[in-house]
Structure 1
Amino acid sequence: MKRRAFIAATAALLVSPRRPLAQGQRRRLGFLVIGDGSGRDLNQAELGLFDGLRKHGWIEGRNLVVEHRFSQPPDRLPASVADLIAFRPDVLIAAGPRAAEALKSATATNPIVFVAVFDPVGLGLVQSLSRPGGNITGLATSQGVALAKQIDILRELVPGASNIAILANPGNPMHRLILAEEAPRTARNLGVALPIVEATTAEELDTAFASAAAQRADALIVFGDALTVVQGPRVVALAAKHRLPALHLWRQFAVGGLIVYGPDVTDLFRRAGGYVDKILKGAKPAELPVEQPTKYELVVNIKTAKALGLTVPTSLLLRADELIE
């Protein structure tokens, strides 16, 4: 009887091998984006993730199920995070620092891949870039977009600018880190004033720009944030209204915005597909080093420069990846 039972059990294993993907079971991916909470579509940069996934053979609807949550903290964020954890994902994707912090606080077991986080070590997300050490890893933006570099570019376009306002969101941990450490040091080293104007809501953007103008700012640096991304057209319009030459971090602002300098975020999301692939094939986030940007973009809007009475110097024209006429 024991021999017959053993044979039967062995036959059952052969008939029903453990091959979930071959049986049509799909792997699960949870995607958290901090936005305005209105259920917006993924933007062009975020869609780059799916290009990266396809490169590795992962296709939504075929062998991959993706659940998105667009959330505006603090009200909707806990519920969005809980929804994604309940989805039982194989991998979680965090777009930006606040999404990364929220997911890391919610789970120590689900693998997390973050994208576009300024300083993941400084924010306490990972132990080090080379050895993350936990259930989270990803792609940082902390190389090549130093505040001093942004100021240098602005001063090429606005000669003599010495009072350069910074538009920041105090709710963004990345912004708090830069304003506490990098901004004061940069102001001293370059001999410039860097007044801070803050906005946490769309309505506060109007007040922030009015404040920058009242402080007679020569130019403005717009820190990258979910608020300014979602309210991009409003940000560009306010800069034009107050005649403030503004430097932006993300390429989408090149439509109407004066100048863009920052990492190619679409490329970062595309590369995140490789992290997902490795994790789905058994790699641990703790063993996958955090990577830095390898592509940067400098885009100058000539039309906006003319509207502001600015002449784009040859040095910028030659270095620009794109000129918008």
Structure 2
Amino acid sequence: MVVGWGRRSRYCGRASITGGVMQRREFLALIGVATAWSPLARAQQPKKVPHIGFLTTGSVEQTRTSMAAFHQGLRERGYIDGENIVVEFRAADSKVEQLPALASELVRLNPALIVAQNTLAARAVQQATKSIPVVVPVMGDPVEDGLVASIARPGGNITGLTFIGPQLVPKRLAQLKEALPMASRIAAIWHPAAYGKTTTQGMISGAESASKTVGVHLQLIAVQDPDGLGEAFSTLAGARADAVFLFPSPMFFIARKRIADLAAEHRLPLFAIGKEFVQLGALLSYGADIIDLNRLSTDYVDKILKGAKPGDLPVEQPTKYELFINLKTAKTLGIEVPAALLAHADGVIE
């Protein structure tokens, strides 16, 4: 073993022991011990660069904005990918069935931790490892989905942030009715595999109850994968829906441009959960800043790399929800957004 990056040891001169010449094997052993304990050698030991995994349900292109936010967060905490940290990226290209294999692939690399971008990715990683720390930037209901034991004390190898999307469904339906007081038929598009069974059922029950409260008929349309979006919009257009209500789902967020384009094509007001939809043409959105959650997740990465256990790090919940309105879309569709709703908007696109 070469110690001290090839520098000659100060012990490389004449050597002897009582009664004769030191054997070469003993001499080399002495050099090794002396060099290993010298301050210079210890200072020159190469620092181990941590490798972390990153698993996303989308493609590289679809995840570009989220990854930019994640790398920004790393830089803010002193990490530069390729220098003092290495990020092993794996993308499922919106093919959920590929997540288990990709998760197992990352686990075999034995990284310091794995970032599973959302609930879908986290559930795959959870099946692949119980020991490697896992950080999830965007969780729905982590307790009901079985990812953590509790918000305050996750207890296992998973922690991260929640955007509380499923719990916002009733409030978002009320906002829809406020924006479109004459609407009576609402088509709700949902993704059955987005969250666990309990979370999904609770979300649907909450939506159905809220629809009765605000006085609208809710038609649920399930979409299993991005290829089914076109058919779903054709169905709801044929049913003469007054608006499209989008349930939270990682798949929908990744396919947001396709969804916004379909809504515009069918001239339907779209209500989504992230401002990114409104920037692409949706009428209204309400929810946490999903892209920024990727940046904030690096705080967990930093703490875990410094020795913290994920089970001891509480799940972070949003402290602010943003209401965004696209007045350009409203004008195109002939919709007059109530002044009271506009007054509460955090962002307006004109």
Rate the CA distance shift 1:312–1:280 in 2: closer, same or farther, 3 A: same
Tell me whether 1:63 sits opposite 2:84 in the alignment: yes
TM-score by length of 1: 0.89
Q: What secondary structure is seen at the aligned counterpart in 2 of 1:194?
A: strand
Equivalent of 1:217, from 238, 241, 264?
241
TM alignment of 1:1-325, pairs within 5 A: 9=33, 12-14=36-38, 17=42, 23-35=46-58, 38-40=59-61, 42-71=63-92, 72-142=94-164, 146-173=168-195, 176-254=200-278, 255-325=280-350
**Counterpart-to-counterpart distance in 1, 2:341 and 2:111:** 45
CA contact (8 A) 1:58 1:64 kept: yes
Query: Could you say what secondary structure the match of 2:348 adopts?
Result: strand
Q: Is the 8 A contact 2:165 2:287 kept in 1?
A: no
Structure 1 CA distance for aligned equivalents of residues 107 and 164 of structure 2: 28
Q: Look up the equivalent residue of 1:223 and give its one-letter code.
A: F
More relative contact order in 1 or in 2 (CA 8 Å, sep 6+)? Answer: 1
CA distance in 2 between counterparts of 1:141 and 1:211 reads 30
- Deviating runs (4+, > 3 A) in structure 1? 4-11, 13-17, 72-75, 177-181, 187-192
For 1:13 and 1:310, locate their aligned partners in 2 and report how far apart those are by CA, in whole Å.
76
Give the C-alpha shift of residue 307 in structure 1.
1.2
Distance apart, 1:320 and its partner CA: 1.5
Per-residue deviation, 1:188: 4.2
Deviation, structure 1 residue 164: 1.9
> Shift in Å at residue 265 of structure 1?
1.4
- How many Å apart are 1:39 and its aligned residue? 4.0
Alpha carbons 2:52, 2:115 under 8 Å: kept:
yes
Q: d(CA) in 2 for partners of 1:115 and 1:227?
A: 15
Q: Distance between the aligned counterparts of 2:257 and 2:96, measured in 1?
A: 24
Q: Which amino acid aligns with 1:154?
A: L
- Cα pair 2:191 2:249 within 8 Å, conserved: yes
1:198-250 Cα shifts (integer Å, max 9, x gaps): 21233311111122223332221112334323332221122122222111112
Using the TM superposition, name which of 281-290 and 57-66 deviates more: 57-66
- Whether the aligned pair in 1 keeps the contact of 2:167 and 2:203 (CA below 8 Å) is no
Q: Provide the rounded CA distance (Å) in 1 between the counterparts of 2:120 and 2:161.
A: 14
1:67 partner SS? strand
Q: CA RMSD in A?
A: 2.5
Letter in structure 2 aligned against 1:131: R
Alignment partner of 2:181: what SS?
coil
SS at match of 1:76: helix
Give the partner amino acid of 2:308.
A
Separation of aligned partners in 1, 2:348 and 2:204: 34
Judge conservation of contact 1:224–1:250 (CA < 8 Å) in 2. no
For 1:176 and 1:33, the matched residues in 2 are separated by: 21
Q: Distance in 1 between matches of 2:72 and 2:173?
A: 33
Normalised to the residue count of structure 2, the TM-score between the two structures is 0.83
Q: In the TM superposition, what is the alpha-carbon distance from 1:153 to its structure 2 partner?
A: 1.4
Structure 2 contact 245–272 (Cα < 8 Å) conserved: yes
Partner amino acid, structure 2, of 1:238: L
Report % sequence identity: 39
Q: Deviations over 1:184-206 (max 9, x none)?
A: 33334444322111212333111
| SS of match in other structure, 2:217 | coil
CA distance in 2, matches of 1:239, 1:8: 71
Q: 1:317/1:185 Cα in 2 relative to 1: closer, same or farther (>3 Å)?
A: closer
Query: How many pairs does the alignment contain?
Result: 319
Work out the CA distance in 2 between the residues paired with 1:75 and 1:143: 23
Q: Decide which structure has the larger Cα Rg and report it.
A: 2
CA distance in 1, matches of 2:254, 2:297: 22
State the SS of the aligned residue for 1:207: helix
CA distance in 2, matches of 1:74, 1:109: 23
